[in-house]
Amino acid sequence: MFHDFKTWLCLSNDPGIIIAQYDAMRRQMPMLFALLIINAAAVTYIHYLWAPQWLTVGITACLISIVAVRLLAWTVFAEATAKITPERARKLLQRSIVSATAFSLAFLTWAMLLDQYGGQLEHAHIAVFTAITVIGCTFCLMHLPQAALLVNVTIMVPLLIYYLCRGNPIFIAIGFNIALVSAVMTRVLLNTYAAFTTQILSQASLALQQVATERLGEDNARLALIDMLTGLPNRRYFFSRLDEMLQECAVTGERFAVGIFDLDRFKPVNDMYGHVMGDRLLADVGRRLAGQVGEGILIARLGGDEFGALISTYGDRAFATGQHICALLSEPFDIDDNRLSLGCSGGIAIYPDAGTDANELIDRADYALYNVKSAHRGGCALFSADHETRIRSERAMEAALQTADLDAELHVEFQPIMCLSTLTILGVEALGRWTSPLIGEVPPDRFIAVAERVGMMHPITIKLFRKALRSFVAMPRNIGLSFNLSAQDIVSSELIALLMAAIEEEGVDPSRVTFELTETALMCDFDAAVSGIRRLRSIGIAIALDDFGTGYSSLSSLNRLPLDEVKIDRSFVDGLGEKAGRNIVGAILGLCRTLEIDCIIEGIETELQHSQANELGFDLAQGYLFATPMTMPSLLLWLEERGWQEGFSFPRPRHMLTNRGRSIARIRPV
Ligand code: C2E
Ligand code: CA
Ligand code: CA
């Protein structure tokens, strides 16, 4: 217990409490000393005539001088609370405890010596002086209870003994009264002090909690701006920084570039190796890009495999930065034992040439990117005046298509598919045509892209297909009809149902119909496309893989898809004059034969190409050399000129019959 008391006397270990005590004492100690000086002076004045001078003048002067020095120390020379260290404050407080006890003893002794002189009133004055001073000091020492307690004990115990020894019952009663008041006061003071320390501690813990909450808030704010997978800034940060740059540059007149980058072949890698591998690949891409971030360039992940860059240069320098980013991501990535080769395409728009707000700049950069992507060439493109003209014409096209009378404006032309060995017609490919009264004739690849963008693909497909079927009934019965479907068509089960219903309603044998699909269309949603293909094949419709060789995964598609026909893209025809080109086309033909798939070569324009295709062993071909796309009346005339009349059928080559028979009978599971 004594040990606890000693520990208590040595003051709290909490630096916050020590500083708070010091702060309170700085405000209260001067009052305590002033009280002592005034009270001591009053007592001296009353006893001046009674007591000897050495006591009234000498000792009093000494005591008052020492107290005055302490008063100065706590006022003029006191250290500011904000600057003092807890160790220094503790030292000063400990010193105050010792000096308060010493002063108590000194003043009590002085008062008792004075009490030896004078009459009853003077004795009473001493008793009142002692009581009032003890009460006053106790209050002033409220925040240093150690000192207050020692002062009370140091004064009350000797005072009581003194009054008891003197034997005067009135002063004994006064002594007990004062002792009682001082004991109660001490108790109250200890309670108040306990409340004081609790308050200080809870304030400190509140402050700590506040700091922790602020830190958590800052962390959350930081995390909200970072993409967790790649560690790069995220879309939100990118757009807020873009807004800031727009505001700054609107004032300074500086130019800068916005880049949008998209990984090539990421989707096939993700599909083939799984999402975990896809995520690791993206993390590696993020690490590579993070190495490029620095003064004047910010790269963020905008979502999926799309990244954005803010580049503080423009023109050729911004273009060079874009090319560098694309080249960097075209280097292979090694993950575990796999070497993965992606590519990267990018589009760059310059502020303020391409646009003055965030949406415009992003749209323009995206447009430049889209152009790079659709040309399958990788690398980066700057948004140009030519792009701007095309955007305008596409907008006009969108408006014209949305208000078009589809029945009146759309029609179908047919291009014969030929058997090379007999030079007879085996089928026709239906090609959509749109003649707008507002903007004139629009090539199909352009209006199909616009229709996909504005969500009009399905009504256009079904309208063209119905028109094609109605014209097609005039054709000889052993001739097939090929019709092109877009990416949005093959993944829609509703549209597939409509196509099947149209075939039935127009009374066409489904085994005469082939739907042509490009690889790009199939890759958009591979699973949905495969289930669409299965449904069509289940009623005998054939499926052709169009523009073969221009997609990303041509060879793997042959194996993975239930196909009946492959159409080699016309870009390969140009290569037939060279050995390497011939080898490639020959290899594709060989592969198709092995897989028992018909193979058509497209875009034969010259006799030379015809004979080269013949030499390689092609049986089926299409091209301007044989016939350009024609309306049905022109096609019927064309056929008539070649000896076809109503009721006459061209002999169908044997391999085509065999294959088609196989295609219908053999519905390959996938
Ligand atoms: P595609 O399916 O590859 O169609 C063949 C395209 O090549 C046709 O162009 C045709 O006119 C052209 N062509 C045929 N022989 C030759 C040749 O010897 N030399 C050259 N240079 N070209 C030749 P077209 O009619 O302009 O169609 C372009 C593309 O638009 C088509 O390419 C097809 O992907 C798409 N398309 C056409 N009609 C439709 C349609 O009704 N629906 C859908 N979804 N797409 C269509
Ligand atoms: Ca086609
Ligand atoms: Ca084609």
CB 382 within 8 A of CB 319: yes
pLDDT value of residue 454: 93
Distances (CA, A) of 52 to 26, 36, 56, 119, 350: 37, 21, 6, 15, 102
Residues with a beta carbon under 5 angstroms from ion ligand 3:
546-547, 602
CB 280 within 8 A of CB 230: no
Q: Which residues contact 554 (CB under 8 A, 6 or more apart)?
A: 519, 548
pLDDT winner (highest mean) among 29-43, 151-165, 458-472:
458-472
pLDDT value of residue 662: 36
Closest ligand relative to 549 C-alpha? 3
pLDDT value of residue 284: 95
Span 308-329, mean pLDDT?
Answer: 94
User: Does pLDDT of 372 surpass 80?
Assistant: yes
| CATH annotation of 235-395 | 3.30.70.270
Write out pLDDT tens, residues 132-185.
Answer: 999 999 899 999 999 999 999 999 999 999 999 999 999 999 999 989 998 999
* Residue 625 Cα: closest atom of ligand 1: 18
Mutate to test the pocket of ligand 1, among 415, 469, 484, 601 (most ligand atoms within 8 A of CB): 484
CB 78 within 8 A of CB 153: no
| C-alpha neighbours within 13 Å on the C-beta side of residue 290 | 14
431 CA → ligand 1 middle, Å: 6
Q: Which residues contact 318 (CB under 8 A, 6 or more apart)?
A: 256, 257, 259, 311, 348, 350, 382
Determine the Cα–Cα distance for residues 324 and 500; give it in Å rounded to an integer: 49
User: Does pLDDT of 328 surpass 90?
Assistant: yes
204: pLDDT confidence band, cut at 50, 70 and 90? confident
Determine the Cα–Cα distance for residues 154 and 361; give it in Å rounded to an integer: 85
The average confidence (pLDDT) of the chain is: 90
- CATH of region 405-667, choose from 3.40.50.1110, 3.30.390.10, 2.40.50.100, 3.20.20.450: 3.20.20.450
pLDDT value of residue 552: 61
Question: Which range among 431-435, 439-443, 495-499, 559-563 shows the weakest confidence by mean pLDDT?
Answer: 559-563
Question: Which segments of 437-506 are extended strands (E)?
Answer: 440-442, 480-484
653: pLDDT confidence band, cut at 50, 70 and 90? very low
- The more confident residue out of 617 and 520 is 617
Question: Which residue's alpha carbon is nearest to atom 23 within ligand 1?
Answer: 603
Distances (CA, A) of 183 to 153, 157, 187, 189: 9, 11, 6, 10
Ligand 1 pocket, CB under 6 A: 415, 431-432, 443-445, 448, 464, 484-486, 516, 546-547, 570, 603-605, 622-624, 629
Provide the 8-state DSSP code for 572. G
CB 628 within 8 A of CB 604: no
Compute the C-alpha angle 670/524/555, nearest 5°.
55
Residues with a beta carbon under 5 angstroms from ion ligand 2:
484, 516, 546
Question: Which residue's alpha carbon is nearest to atom 3 within ligand 1?
Answer: 547
pTM for this structure?
Answer: 0.60
Q: Which residues contact 270 (CB under 8 A, 6 or more apart)?
A: 277, 278, 281
Q: How many helices (H) and strands (E) does the chain have?
A: 26, 16
Span 470-474, mean pLDDT?
Answer: 95
pLDDT value of residue 658: 43
Determine the Cα–Cα distance for residues 251 and 485; give it in Å rounded to an integer: 51
Write out pLDDT tens, residues 190-199.
Answer: 899 889 888 8
Percent of the chain scoring above 70 in pLDDT: 95
655: pLDDT confidence band, cut at 50, 70 and 90? very low
Q: Which residues contact 42 (CB under 8 A, 6 or more apart)?
A: 129
Span 263-288, mean pLDDT?
Answer: 91
Span 250-262, mean pLDDT?
Answer: 96
pLDDT value of residue 558: 76
Question: Could you state, in order of their start, the residue ranges of all structural domains in the chain?
Answer: 2-208, 235-395, 405-667
Question: Which residue's alpha carbon is nearest to atom 2 within ligand 1?
Answer: 484
pLDDT value of residue 224: 85
Buried b (16+ CB within 10 A) or exposed e, 318-357: bbebbbebbeebbeebeeeeeebebbbbbbbbbbbbbbee
Question: Which residue's alpha carbon is nearest to atom 22 within ligand 1?
Answer: 603
Span 635-656, mean pLDDT?
Answer: 66
410 CA → ligand 1 middle, Å: 15
User: Does pLDDT of 3 surpass 80?
Assistant: no
pLDDT value of residue 554: 62
Q: Which residue has the tokens 């009052």?
A: 31
Write out pLDDT tens, residues 568-603.
Answer: 999 999 999 999 999 999 999 999 999 999 999 999
pLDDT value of residue 461: 98
User: Does pLDDT of 648 surpass 70?
Assistant: no
pLDDT value of residue 81: 86
User: Does pLDDT of 637 surpass 80?
Assistant: yes
Question: Which residue's alpha carbon is nearest to atom 17 within ligand 1?
Answer: 603
Buried b (16+ CB within 10 A) or exposed e, 461-488: bbbbbbbbbebbeebeebbbbbbbbbbb
Span 65-81, mean pLDDT?
Answer: 90
CB 582 within 8 A of CB 616: yes
pLDDT value of residue 1: 65
643 CA → ligand 2 middle, Å: 27
| C-alpha neighbours within 13 Å on the C-beta side of residue 283 | 10
pLDDT value of residue 660: 44
Pairing of strands 410-419, 542-548: unpaired
pLDDT value of residue 657: 41
pLDDT value of residue 638: 93
Closest ligand relative to 521 C-alpha? 1
Q: Which amino acid is at 588?
A: I
